[in-house]
Amino acid sequence: MDDPYIKARAPDLSDIGRKVIQKLMPSQQNGCDLTEPVIIVASELTPSDTVRLDREKVLAFATESGGRESHAAILARSFGIPAVVGIEGLVSKVKTGDPLVVDGDMGLVMINPPVKVIQNYRDLQRKIDALLGNGKGGI
């Protein structure tokens, strides 16, 4: 598909198809119960996946597919979750437990960044939280 808008809707159609199949087949537990704050790295997040994210535990997410106008990206912005989408090969580069920085404003994902970079982002997040009056502290 050449039209970027139509191309961004393809995952939505796949999501609808999965929902229909889920309704027709015996239910299985979807999602997971998060016990601590995490950054999600996935090949794809559908709109229904994104809506079900635990906003108290998901600090950010990064995906291999999607674009700025994908529903996952739009929902992330509306929920205030930092997100970067459309990074080819990301899943194979990240290992469970790797420290990450997800900068949704810059469209940047740093894997195993230096401690100083992590501290700079934490300081920035505290300043943003203080300005906005929230205590989430998502980095």
- Domain with residue 15: its CATH number is 3.50.30.10
The pLDDT value given to residue 135: 57
- Is residue 84 domain-resident? yes
Which residues of the chain fall below pLDDT 50?
Answer: 28-29, 137
- Rounded to an integer, what distance in angstroms lies between the CA atom of residue 11 and that of residue 7? 8
The pLDDT value given to residue 34: 84
- Is residue 127 domain-resident? no
- Is residue 119 domain-resident? no
- Is residue 53 domain-resident? yes
Print the domain residue range for 12: 4-22+32-112
Could you tell me where the beta strands, DSSP code E, fall in the chain? Answer: 38-42, 58-63, 83-84, 100-103, 108-111
CB-based contact 77:50 (threshold 8 Å): no
The pLDDT value given to residue 121: 94
- Is residue 75 domain-resident? yes
- Is residue 126 domain-resident? no
From the CB of residue 95, how many other CB atoms can be counted at a distance below 10 Å?
A: 9
The pLDDT value given to residue 109: 97
Per the structure, the count of domains in the chain is 1
CB-based contact 113:101 (threshold 8 Å): yes
- Is residue 131 domain-resident? no
